Amino acid sequence: MEGENNMEKGLLLAKKEDSANTTPLLIFSTFIIVSASFTFGAAIGYTADTMSSIMSDLDLSLAQFSLFGSLSTFGGMIGAIFSAKAASAFGHKMTLWVADLFCITGWLAISLAKDIIWLDMGRFLVGIGVGLISYVVPVYIAEITPKHVRGAFTFSNQLLQNCGVAVVYYFGNFLSWRTLAIIGSIPCWIQVFGLFFIPESPRWLAKKGRDKECEEVLQKLRGRKYDIVPEACEIKISVEASKKNSNINIRSLFEKRYAHQLTIGIGLMLLQQLCGTAGISSYGSTLFKLAGFPARIGMMVLSLIVVPKSLMGLILVDRWGRRPLLMTSALGLCLSCITLAVAFGVKDVPGIGKVTPIFCFIGILSFTMMFAIGMGALPWIIMSEIFPMDIKVLAGSLVTIANWFTGWIANYGFNFMLVWSPSGTFIISAIICGATIVFTWCLVPETRRLTLEEIQLSFVNV
């Protein structure tokens, strides 16, 4: 109770603060951190337009290619197991250096692969790297940014992911799969050198007892004229409260006091992966061909539309708030999946089947757009905000593992689901998207314009 009272006092001090400046260091740090997200996006979209060429060049079966495609999500699950622990023990920067090493090695292995073993090993290593990235990037950004721009800055993670997706979608029409793998590694090299010039998270420094460095970094991030005392006070009080609960273990996560946060975190991650994105992002070209729509045109249009729509999400996230944007995105995904289900459902119906190509194009295009503005980034943004420092490591790991494990199952099974029934596959996805709206309405709180400490206090007071 004493820790909660101290936190409330700190929050009252924080209410008096003016909005912090968006400094050049804050922008540069965010750019360096999210550059790795480009690799994340490239890994997601890499199989979308390379399936036929890789299968032909290396003589792979459908099952072998499905395994290759899913290994990035399996590797991501392995990386997720260690991501939060590594970030807590060694810092966000060191963890990202390790992630870059995995990604660079993996992309090089794919580009030089002569057989399925090297191909799969490279995909697996990239997966481990992006598994580390998936947790560290949104958490680091959430910890360095002031509350009035935190949503937009954290959304830049999704923006760069979509840039990676767009690049492999577009250039997959012209370049070989080996060259695409080289392109996927370039942002990792940028981050390797850029990390030398950005600070560690103030909250991590405070947690390690380096209070003076915490204040110095906070001052640089907020600007020389900004009064950091209220925010520094909040951080220190939060760290002190977390130290009193330092005996937290995996069983503690399932106590009643954390049930709400854990349900939100895991629930949103499962819904994100099961809504259909694993198949559409990774096998978009296959869907276009199955519907009879020119795959090259379809992939090129997707590459041109995904980034502008992410920019829209970046602008709206701190204006609309998390809840409205998440429900709007889920509604759009539900309608898109219904469109795809109808498109494939009438494919073999005489006189009506001719609408399948255009309906498929509309469905995939609208799905990609609606996913980019909300469902792609918001589960990660909310995850980075809702957990208090005493359980952030364990809870963050568990939530990230849930995301990657579900993604692995969805990615591997998608091609076999299509063989079973394309229409049935998207009916299931539509139902899950509808469930996301209900889940968000009932359980997900609004975190817009609240500090991390204010968000966590709101759960205590529920």
The pLDDT of residue 244: 64
H or E stretch including 142? helix 116-144
| Residues whose CB falls within 8 Å of the CB of residue 106, separated by 6 or more in sequence, listed in order | 121, 122, 123, 124, 125, 126, 127, 128, 129
Contacts of 403 (CB under 8 A, 6+ apart): 80, 134, 269, 270, 272, 273, 379
pLDDT in tens, 77-128: 899 888 888 988 899 999 999 999 999 999 999 999 998 999 999 999 999 9
| 188 close to 39: Cβ distance less than 8 angstroms | yes
Does an H or E element contain 288, and which? helix 284-291
- ∠ CA 253-330-448 to the nearest 5 degrees? 60
The predicted structure's pLDDT at residue 315: 81
Whether residue 127 contacts residue 71, with contact meaning beta carbons closer than 8 Å, is answered with yes
Contacts of 394 (CB under 8 A, 6+ apart): 84, 248, 249, 250, 252, 253
Cβ–Cβ < 8 Å for 145, 449: no
d(CA 422, CA 63): 18
CA-based end-to-end distance of the chain: 15
pLDDT score recorded for residue 19 = 56
- Note the pLDDT of residue 257: 81
Quote the pTM value: 0.77
Number of Cβ within a 10 Å radius of residue 243 = 13
pLDDT at position 172 is 84
Torsion sign (Cα): 97, 99, 377, 255? negative
Length of the chain: 462
Q: What local confidence, expressed as pLDDT, does residue 286 receive?
A: 85
Structure tokens at 47: 């199989």
Q: What are phi and psi of 68, to 5 degrees?
A: -60, -50
Give the model confidence (pLDDT) of 263-307 as tens digits. 999 999 999 999 988 888 878 888 998 889 998 888 888 888 878
Whole-number pLDDT of residue 277: 87
Written as one letter, the residue type at 211 is: D
Tokens of 153: 């800055």
Give the Cα separation of 223 and 36 in Å (integer): 26
* Beta carbons of 313 and 162 less than 8 angstroms apart: no
Residue 314 CA to residue 325 CA, distance in Å, equals: 11
CA dist., res. 101 & res. 95, Å (int): 10
Q: Which residues of the chain have pLDDT under 50?
A: 1-18
- CA 278 to chain CA mean position, Å: 13
The span from the CA of 398 to the CA of 84, in Å, is: 9
Q: What is the dihedral of CA 119, 297, 37, 376, to 10 degrees?
A: -110
